[in-house]
Chain A
Amino acid sequence: MKLEDLRRIRERASKEISLRTGGARVRVIVGMGTSGIAAGARDVMGAFLDEIEKRDLTDVIVTQTGERGWASSEPVVEVRVEGEPAVVYGEMTPDAARRVVAEHIVNGSPVVDYVLEVRKDAT
């Protein structure tokens, strides 16, 4: 495999991309501060990326942030779906992350078992 092979992917995907308007519909923000990593954020992040790949989701972006004061509930993940309140999930696991993708991001209903906070102020 060579990095240059990416050019073909780019060419193939470019038509599809040009149809999209603006940024991603969903942002997934994983807390990757020290306490988050210690609690398992690495594998939670991996599960989100894996689901994006497996489900061919082109409108989801996974990003990361540092400590946010939720240390006792790490790993913490915030999910922002365009036009909806942001949902903060706590004590996440890779399985929980996969549920969030299936139930919240794809089907639109937050996974209440893991919700820490719903932030109506966020866009």
Chain B
Amino acid sequence: MIEELDMHLLDLVQNARGAGATTIDLSVICDDRRDRMTLRVADDGRGMDPETLEAVRHGFFSSKSPRSVGLGIPLLRESAEHCDGRFEIVSAPGRGTTVEATFRMSHVDRPPFGDLAATVLALVVTSEGRRVRITIRCEGRSLEIDTAEISEILGDLPLQHPEVLRFLKAYIAERIGARTGGER
């Protein structure tokens, strides 16, 4: 199942893409003093009406939601609440969707990071014209990356050109790769 934080990030970003988002903001921020970790994904997609939002929040799907979008949301909510955190999803038609989940960092069941560096690389290089901004500040990891800034530098050179991939992989690893084994 989805048991690592980076898998939740991929899932939330896929939801945003499915909602037609052109800008996706994603962050993982840790507050050591308060023992909190906050994961947040905000998009400018088409958003959801209250009925769909309620269905997604609880994992109930009616004929109004024929495609299995948002299946990972209840899992994230359960995981956050189980780890002394909270879960919030805000959405309205035409206003995009923001999902925020907090966890107690030190909770024994707090999901591990997974392969955060590989996930960030994948999110950046598959952005396909969308603006994806990623901020990670957690346990010595620190990264801010914005596909708009990268694309501006690259011009018509594709994000997946092998040399660009090599560069971005090293660039991301230098900032967040050191402790992405997922262990606390």
Q: Which residues of A contact B (CB under 8 A)?
A: 1, 3-7, 9-10, 12-14, 17, 24, 32-35, 37-38, 41-43, 45-46, 49, 52-53, 55-58, 60-64, 66-67, 71
A12/B163 in contact, CB under 8 A? yes
Q: List 16 A-B contacts (CB under 8 A).
A: A6-B150, A10-B157, A13-B161, A13-B163, A33-B68, A34-B2, A37-B11, A37-B72, A42-B10, A42-B119, A42-B122, A52-B165, A61-B160, A62-B125, A63-B128, A64-B14
A4/B17 in contact, CB under 8 A? no
Interface of B is mostly: helix
Q: How far is B157's CA from A9's CA once the two chains are assembled, in angstroms?
A: 9
CB proximity of A92 to chain B, nearest CB, Å: 15
What residues of chain B lie closer than 8 Å to A7, measured between beta carbons?
153
What residues of chain B lie closer than 8 Å to A71, measured between beta carbons?
68
What residues of chain B lie closer than 8 Å to A37, measured between beta carbons?
2, 7, 10-11, 14, 72
What residues of chain A lie closer than 8 Å to B118, measured between beta carbons?
42-43, 46
Q: Taking CB as reference atom, which chain B residue is nearest A16? A: B161
Q: How far is B167's CA from A9's CA once the two chains are assembled, in angstroms?
A: 9
CB proximity of B182 to chain A, nearest CB, Å: 13
What residues of chain B lie closer than 8 Å to A60, measured between beta carbons?
160
What residues of chain B lie closer than 8 Å to A45, measured between beta carbons?
122, 126
A5/B69 in contact, CB under 8 A? no
In this complex, how many residues of chain B approach chain A with their Cβ under 8 Å: the count is 44
Q: How far is B168's CA from A1's CA once the two chains are assembled, in angstroms?
A: 10
What residues of chain B lie closer than 8 Å to A5, measured between beta carbons?
167
Considering residues B114, B121, B162, B166, which has the most beta carbons from chain A within 10 angstroms of its beta carbon? Answer: B162
What residues of chain A lie closer than 8 Å to B169, measured between beta carbons?
53
B167/A10 in contact, CB under 8 A? no
Known: A1-B170, A42-B118, A66-B14. A34 touches B157 (CB 8 A): no
A1/B163 in contact, CB under 8 A? no
A3/B160 in contact, CB under 8 A? no
CB proximity of A24 to chain B, nearest CB, Å: 8
**B 1-42 binary contact with A (CB < 8 Å = 1; else 0):** 110001100110010011000000000000000000000000
Q: How far is B171's CA from A41's CA once the two chains are assembled, in angstroms?
A: 23
Known: A52-B165, A56-B162, A62-B160. A38 touches B1 (CB 8 A): yes
B167/A42 in contact, CB under 8 A? no
Known: A34-B68, A62-B125. A53 touches B165 (CB 8 A): yes
